[in-house]
Amino acid sequence: EPEVTQTPSHQVTQMGQEVILRCVPISNHLYFYWYRQILGQKVEFLVSFYNNEISEKSEIFDDQFSVERPDGSNFTLKIRSTKLEDSAMYFCASRDRYEQYFGPGTRLTVT
Amino acid sequence: GQQLNQSPQSMFIQEGEDVSMNCTSSSIFNTWLWYKQDPGEGPVLLIALYKAGELTSNGRLTAQFGITRKDSFLNISASIPSDVGIYFCAGSYSGTYKYIFGTGTRLKVLA
């Protein structure tokens, strides 16, 4: 069964460093998402991507964040200068018509 | 912004019991999704609902899209230990690509 994959599973970085989180969505899906989940809290929407551009973003998704779909299969989230409060699980998701499927997540730890 | 409130926040039940949880909003939603999340993993899609009043089952799980379109319900029949986890509702409304997540219901099953 097709699934969303994410790498790495765990990323540790120092405050101020740039990180890139990678995702391979389900191949025939057209809508792609990044969500964040701080430990013990609910899943928060960051950004949606459709037709090679951002379709919607939350107030969390400020200028430090960017997304790309560089080669038609990968979908990346870049955080330019990480802060301590960026520590969280980051989930990629993709959607066909209505059903949205999540990847296993990347745990980002900023020290 | 839009908010989804789930209740109960957590519940302990005996193995074999039926479970009910719900998700409510002050706004109208067009699609409801129900997810289960195990610790350290991504949310797994359980059931998707597309029409007001719709009742959909997936094994021992049954979910309903409320008639007012402002709520949804999830029932689990004859609970088993592997039902332990956090259950999230997620809703999408007209004019948006994103899904908003509820606050979650943590289910603990006593064998």
3-state secondary structure of B40: coil
Distance in angstroms (rounded) separating the CA atoms of residues B94 and A79: 30
Give the residues of chain B that fall short of pLDDT 50.
none
Cβ-contact B92, B100 below 8 angstroms = yes
Q: Is B97 on the interface with A (CB under 8 A)?
A: yes
Q: Which residue in the set B33, B96, B103 is minimally distant from A100, CB to CB?
A: B33
Enumerate the β-bridge partners of residue A10: A107
- Pick the residue from chain B with its C-alpha nearest to A47: B98
In this structure, what token pair is assigned to residue B93?
């409304």
Interface test with A, best of B3, B65, B86, B99 (most A CBs within 10 A): B99
What residues 11-30 of chain B have any CB closer than 8 A to a CB of chain A?
Answer: none
Q: Which of A43, A101, A104 is the closest to B101 by Cβ? A: A43
A-chain CB neighbours of B45 within 8 Å are 99-102
Q: Which of B45, B88, B92 lies at the smallest CB-CB distance from A43? A: B88
Please give the Cα distance from A79 to A34 (Å, whole number): 12
Contact B35 A102 (CB under 8 A): yes
Please report which confidence band the pLDDT of residue A26 belongs to, taking 50, 70 and 90 as the band edges: very high
Rounded (to 5) percent helix, strand, coil in chain A: 5, 50, 45
**What integer pLDDT is reported at residue B3 of this predicted model?**
84
Contacts of A31 in chain B (CB under 8 A): 97
| CB of A82 closer than 8 Å to CB of B26 | no
What does the pLDDT look like over A44-94, one tens digit per residue? 999 999 988 999 999 999 999 999 998 878 999 999 999 999 999 999 999
Give the per-residue pLDDT at B104.
95
List chain B residues with CB under 8 Å of A56.
96-98
**How much is the pLDDT for B1?**
65
- Mean per-residue pLDDT over chain A, rounded: 95
Which of B48, B88, B100 is facing A45, going by the closest CB pair?
B100
In the block, tokens 């200028």 appear at A63
Q: Give the list of residues 6+ apart from residue B101 with CB closer than 8 angstroms, or none.
A: A35, A42, A43, A44, A45, B4, B88, B89, B90
User: pLDDT tens digit string along A96-111?
Assistant: 888 999 999 999 999 9
DSSP state of B96: -
Task: Count Cβ atoms below 10 Å from residue A24 Cβ, excluding itself.
Answer: 16
